[in-house]
Structure formats: structure tokens, C-alpha cells
């Protein structure tokens, strides 16, 4: 991947790859899951549920924030099930034990490890994009109520911590990609911190996206291209 620091889509071609020089951003702490509200109390027996995905120690996790808004019965034991999905994910354990139980007005955080299960892989028709959506069913074992939600998977949870390619391997991989498969876009109105490549590299590194090389754009003062893997 390449980016320019003037918000201009960067083009990489054979002539520009030979003079790349390496660089790297500082180490960044592993980011928290990007949480979103997936269940409202009206549909889940007084429970509000927030969910997000992240990678911890090489394992994919579904993070849950359980908020007991109006249920007189403390949340103590939930069962979780996933529908077939494009990633073949299923919960490593279907039981979610809240210890201590979550009383009315309280909240608690739970983590469900997701494992790859070939039987859970949904078949995508040829020529159609795979859906990033994960459909989930949750049963409150104390009340017997079953409620459902769907959340888009965070792709950075799949990125490997050893994804920093050697420069030579990166160049060879880049050249092997058909030009018709290359995509680019222009992002405008970014704050200064988002156009400083050192800061971007440090941010990306927290998501296992690594700066491989950077170079100035020839005959374009103030423009720079950065390559990430």
C-alpha cells in the first residue's frame, strides 16, 4: 500500500521502486476494540450490549460490554452462537460466565475467543463480495430470553504481528500484482497528524500494519510516498 503526505493518491511503478529507503514508526500499544452498540434494552430484556473485535496474542477476540439497564435479574450466564460467516468463525466456548453477575445499573466486560471452523464458512457466489457481517445469537440463561445482533468484523483483528515484509520481498510482491487489481482513493480534509507519515506509521503499527519504505516524489516538493504491509 502507498500513500502520499499531500493527500494525493500515490502511484508506484517499476521506476520508482528501485530508490526506496527504509523507515519505521515508533512502537504503538495494541489498540482497544472499536466498540459499537449492537443491542438496546428494549429488544434484549433490559440489557444493552456493545461489541467489537480485536486481536490479542495472535487470537481473534469478540469483546462484549454488558450493561444491565433495567433487568431485575442480574446477568450471570449467557450462551452465544454465531451464524455461518465469511471468516469461518465460531466461539471457542459458547458459555459466557459473568463473575460477579451484572446487577441492574451495573456493567461488565467479557471476551469470547473466536476460532476458525471450516463448517462455519459461508459459501459466497462467484463474482460476489463476501460480507464482513458477523451475525450473533445470545441467550440469557437466567431468563431464557434469546436476542440477536449483527456487527461488521474489524479486519485489523486478522493482521499478523509478523507482517513486516523485507523490502525486497515487498517489491517483488508489488510487481507481481496485476495492475487491474490495484485500487486507490483520495482522502481529503485530514488533520495535520494524519498527513505526518511518522505519526501515521506509529498508529498503523498498533494494528500490525508496518512501514516498509518511504521516498520523496520526484519533481514534487513536499510530497512523499510511504509503503506499508
The series of mean pLDDT values per 10 residues for the chain, 229 residues long, is 43 39 44 91 96 92 97 97 96 97 97 96 85 96 96 90 85 84 77 79 85 85 84
Q: Residue with C-alpha cell 463473575?
A: 99
Alpha-carbon distances of 186 from 6, 8, 65, 178, rounded to whole Å:
10, 6, 35, 21
Which pLDDT does position 51 carry in this prediction? 97
Alpha-helical segments (H) within 2-42: 14-17
- 7 half-sphere exposure, CB direction, 13 A CA radius: 8
Residue 169 near residue 124, CB atoms below 8 Å: no
Predicted TM-score of the model (pTM): 0.74
Which H or E element spans position 173? helix 167-176
Which pLDDT does position 27 carry in this prediction? 44
Which pLDDT does position 26 carry in this prediction? 42
Which pLDDT does position 30 carry in this prediction? 61
Amino acid at each position: 500500500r502507498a500513500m502520499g503526505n499531500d493527500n494525493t493518491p500515490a502511484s508506484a511503478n517499476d521506476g520508482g521502486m528501485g530508490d526506496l529507503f527504509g523507515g519505521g514508526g515508533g512502537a504503538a500499544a495494541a489498540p482497544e476494540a472499536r466498540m459499537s452498540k449492537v443491542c438496546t434494552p428494549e429488544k434484549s430484556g433490559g440489557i444493552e450490549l456493545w461489541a467489537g473485535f480485536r486481536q490479542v496474542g495472535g487470537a481473534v477476540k469478540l469483546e462484549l460490554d454488558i450493561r444491565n439497564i433495567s433487568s431485575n435479574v442480574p446477568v450471570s450466564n449467557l450462551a452465544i452462537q454465531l451464524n455461518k460467516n465469511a471468516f469461518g468463525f465460531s466461539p471457542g466456548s459458547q458459555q459466557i460466565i459473568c463473575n460477579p453477575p451484572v446487577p441492574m445499573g451495573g456493567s461488565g466486560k467479557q471476551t469470547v475467543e473466536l476460532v476458525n471452523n471450516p463448517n462455519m464458512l459461508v459459501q459466497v457466489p462467484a463474482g460476489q463480495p463476501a460480507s464482513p457481517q458477523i451475525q450473533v445469537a445470545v441467550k440469557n440463561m437466567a431468563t431464557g430470553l434469546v436476542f440477536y445482533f449483527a456487527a461488521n468484523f474489524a479486519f485489523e483483528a486478522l493482521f499478523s504481528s509478523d507482517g513486516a515484509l523485507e523490502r525486497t520481498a515487498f517489491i517483488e510482491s508489488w510487481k507481481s500484482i496485476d495492475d487491474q487489481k490495484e485500487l486507490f482513493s483520495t482522502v481529503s480534509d485530514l488533520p495535520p497528524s494524519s498527513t505526518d507519515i511518522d505519526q501515521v506509521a506509529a498508529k498503523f503499527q498498533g494494528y500490525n500494519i508496518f512501514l516498509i519504505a518511504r521516498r520523496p516524489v520526484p519533481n514534487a516538493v513536499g510530497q512523499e510516498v510511504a509503503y506499508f504491509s
